[in-house]
Amino acid sequence: MKAIQLTGIGEPLRLMELPVPQVGPDDVLVKIKAAGICHSDAHYRAGVSPPAALPVTLGHEMAGVAESTGKNVKHIVPGDRVCIHYLAFCGACHFCSMGREQFCATVQMMGKHRDGGYAEWALVPARSVFVLPAEISFEAAAIMMCSSATSLHALNKARLQPGETVAIFGFGGLGFSALQLARALGAGDVYAVDINPAKLKTAADFGAIPIDARQGDPVQQIRQMTKGRGADVALELIGLPETMDAAVRCLAIFGRAALVGLTQKSFEVVPYQNLINKEAEVVGISDHLASELPLLLEMARDGQLRFPPGAIRTIPLEAAAINETLDALEHGSDQIRTVIGM
């Protein structure tokens, strides 16, 4: 089969010819129909967070059709449309038994620690395979398996309650899902903070109140619009100390700031003013949970989470096109999500 692999850190991905994987008793062999290209893939290629062993087939955002299943697999049958939770986990260790498999003792990220979806077929442990409703396209499903799922996990970890005010810092791929999911979960006003006019317009089109951070401190703007109250839930989706600081400062009494964006840099918190005197909380967000995917799929099935035409670009399973997309991601713009379509 054709597979596009990372064979050396800092090098372009290469087309390789590999055998179609053999199905074990607990596996599903998936004919890949869509594989999303993610900012993380650019980090793997560049060596910012390198895979442990090379070569590896990248691609952790996968959707396709189950082609064959192992003898122990009951919930998937050949021919099912499926989408894939990107973590392979043991199902039995301390964290797996708590349903917190992102901290599984032997967790593996597909498309990083083991072969992923930039290939014609992928071998996936059955517990990471979910039936994909007919209403959801393979392309949308692929994207949902990363950015939408993580957005939902952030809202869950922040314990969003109906009627609460949400502030989203950074309106890229994650923010686009976070806005729709927050509304689906019954949020009150949702503020979308960005500096990019096109992103602010999209946010407004999808029902957010746009906050242009070029027009002055976004925290001041949010306070003004909430009559001094602030936001109950703030999501930081960029990974910048400045926006982390703003996400914490904009909180209302009992507010929760969920930090999703990655950075090695630190930011300052004034304990009394920012946390103690409000009983506010700062929560770290890592990946998402298999148990969250059924609700996510349900919200997409009934149209509460949607990706309009033009929000997703499709490219072929070709090394040059994939490398170009990774180059573009390295240089910043994720306005349109790219998916390998097969």
Helices (H), 54-208: 94-97, 138-143, 149-157, 173-184, 197-205
Integer CA distances (angstroms), 72 to 122, 127, 128, 131, in order: 18, 11, 14, 17
Tell me whether residue 60 or residue 199 sits nearer to Zn ion (CB atom): 60
Q: Which residue is nearest to Zn ion (CB)?
A: 38
Minimum CB distance to Zn ion, residue 262 (Å): 12
- How far is Cα 175 from Cα 193, in angstroms, rounded to an integer? 10
Strand order in the sheet with 56-57: 14-17, 2-6, 56-57
- How far is Cα 310 from Cα 336, in angstroms, rounded to an integer? 7
Tell me whether residue 104 or residue 326 sits nearer to Zn ion (CB atom): 104
Tell me whether residue 93 or residue 328 sits nearer to Zn ion (CB atom): 93
Minimum CB distance to Zn ion, residue 322 (Å): 14
Taking alpha carbons only, the member of 233, 223, 206 closest to residue 151 is 233
Query: Are the CB atoms for 96 and 260 separated by under 8 Å?
Result: no
Minimum CB distance to Zn ion, residue 102 (Å): 10
Tell me whether residue 104 or residue 213 sits nearer to Zn ion (CB atom): 104
Place of tokens 């407004």: 204
Minimum CB distance to Zn ion, residue 189 (Å): 29
Minimum CB distance to Zn ion, residue 24 (Å): 17
Tell me whether residue 88 or residue 200 sits nearer to Zn ion (CB atom): 88
Beta strands in the chain (DSSP E): 2-6, 14-17, 27-37, 56-57, 61-69, 81-84, 87-88, 108-109, 121-125, 129-131, 166-169, 190-194, 209-212, 231-236, 251-259, 281-284, 312-315, 337-341
Integer CA distances (angstroms), 254 to 210, 228, 233, 251, 299, in order: 24, 14, 9, 8, 28
Minimum CB distance to Zn ion, residue 187 (Å): 24
Burial classification of residue 87, based on how many CB atoms lie within 10 Å of its CB (0-12 exposed, 13-18 middle, 19 or more buried): buried
Minimum CB distance to Zn ion, residue 150 (Å): 8
Cα–chain center distance at 40 = 10
Minimum CB distance to Zn ion, residue 61 (Å): 5
Tell me whether residue 219 or residue 329 sits nearer to Zn ion (CB atom): 329
Tell me whether residue 38 or residue 285 sits nearer to Zn ion (CB atom): 38
Minimum CB distance to Zn ion, residue 36 (Å): 6
Kindly list the residues in this chain that would bind Zn ion in the complex (CB under 5 A).
38, 89-90, 93, 96, 104, 146
Q: How many CB atoms lie within 10 A of CB 71?
A: 9
Tell me whether residue 90 or residue 131 sits nearer to Zn ion (CB atom): 90
Tell me whether residue 96 or residue 247 sits nearer to Zn ion (CB atom): 96
- How far is Cα 342 from Cα 239, in angstroms, rounded to an integer? 33
